[in-house]
Copies of this chain bind each other. A is one copy, B any other.
Amino acid sequence: MATLKDIARALDLSITQVSRALNDHSDVNEATRLRVKATARAMNYHPNASARKLVSGRSGMVGLVVPNYRNIGQDRIFMEVVAGLSTQFSGRGMQFVLHMMAEHEPALPVYQKLIGTAMLDGFVLIDPMEHDPRIDFLRKAGVSFVVHGRSGKTIDYPYFDIANEQLAYDLTAHLTQRGHRRIAFLNGRADRSYVTVREQGYIRALRDGGGEALPHLHLNGEMDEAHGLTDTIRLFSGEAPRPTAIVCGNVRLARGVYQGLEALGLSVPGDVSVVAHDDELPALRASAFFPSLTVTKSPLRDSWEPLADCLAGAIEGKPLGTLQRLGSYNFIERNSVARL
């Protein structure tokens, strides 16, 4: 509740000088600066965020806007995102605002309103679509934001992403190099941008390695155990030529694939080889699979720090070059692939 005026009165200084002292401006005597800072601490002073925002344009608050959906409470990835980002921003002295929309509420008006009231300095965008309207909207509005992933043709905004094209290439090439020609790819939902990019890597690896690019072997859908299971059953049920190997978009899919193959009486890697990308989601360890799973590994939890970093940088007006980051991944060979 203490204000600059209180401190100024206590020290017989002007408000101006107190403000300058606290903000480490140049033209204030060192002794004065120390006196001011000491009394500020003593009086338990915290600058009023609204007043500061009003004149300086910064509030130190960033937002995440997400749609609510049934069972969001069970979505571990969402939980990771929220906990990770919140922790990161709290640690930077910033505040994290979580805005949860009604299930089918359109997003743009929500951003519009949040921007209008001017209480947020920027946004984190997750789950970008292939041509994501939010990006255009925020770009036009001139608001800072950072994208988890990339989307669209002109990537002129801050982002953190992993090399999804290369990762899908590596996984697929690992299989072609071991003689596999018919390789299935259980990919994510078709409207997500990283899904398209991964598909390109998969196709490129097939082409380079002499694999067959059969449309029925590339499947899109939610990346959970249920889809891994059902897709696997379908792959080995019809008349169409069957794969000898399966690339999974994440480890949850792979778990479903293992269950499906077991149900079909097929062994890993004897009958079918399996590889996956591993986000290191909690309580799902690829090394604990039997047989242990060959993966490209890139923990999702390594995303939050660079994302917060980039958004904070964007708000401070740092040059774009420093705000576009690519995460690394490791290729970990285990026991789920056979040489044909």
Give residues in A with beta carbon < 8 Å to B. Answer: 1, 44-51, 53-54, 59, 61, 68, 71-76, 78-80, 82-84, 86-87, 90-91, 95-102, 112-113, 116-119, 282-283, 301
Instruction: For A45, give its contact among B47, B97, B116 (CB under 8 Å).
Output: B116
**24 sample A-B contacts, Cβ–Cβ < 8 Å, listed by A number:** A44-B116, A46-B118, A48-B54, A49-B117, A50-B50, A50-B53, A50-B118, A54-B54, A61-B119, A71-B282, A73-B76, A73-B79, A73-B83, A73-B301, A74-B76, A74-B283, A86-B99, A87-B100, A87-B102, A90-B100, A90-B102, A95-B119, A96-B100, A98-B98
Within the complex, the shortest CB–CB distance from A313 to chain B, in Å, comes to 21
Instruction: For A91, give its contact among B50, B74, B102, B118 (CB under 8 Å).
Output: B102
A101 to B64, CA, bound (A): 18
Instruction: For A95, give its contact among B45, B48, B97 (CB under 8 Å).
Output: B97
Within the complex, the shortest CB–CB distance from A64 to chain B, in Å, comes to 9
Asked if B54 and A82 sit within 8 Å, CB to CB, the answer is no
* CB-defined contacts of A80 to chain B, threshold 8 Å: 73
A47 to B96, CA, bound (A): 21
* CB-defined contacts of A53 to chain B, threshold 8 Å: 50
Counted per complex, copies of this chain come to: 2
* CB-defined contacts of A119 to chain B, threshold 8 Å: 49-50, 59, 61, 95
* CB-defined contacts of A75 to chain B, threshold 8 Å: 79
Q: CB-nearest residue of chain B relative to A113?
A: B46
Within the complex, the shortest CB–CB distance from A12 to chain B, in Å, comes to 24
* CB-defined contacts of A282 to chain B, threshold 8 Å: 71, 73-74
A54 to B54, CA, bound (A): 9
Asked if A46 and B98 sit within 8 Å, CB to CB, the answer is no
A283 to B59, CA, bound (A): 40
* CB-defined contacts of A78 to chain B, threshold 8 Å: 79, 83
Q: CB-nearest residue of chain B relative to A81?
A: B73
Asked if B87 and A68 sit within 8 Å, CB to CB, the answer is yes
* CB-defined contacts of A1 to chain B, threshold 8 Å: 116
Q: Which interface residue of A45, A50, A79 has the most chain B CB atoms within 10 A?
A: A50
CB within 8 Å for A97 and B61 given contacts A68-B87, A74-B76? yes
Asked if A97 and B100 sit within 8 Å, CB to CB, the answer is no
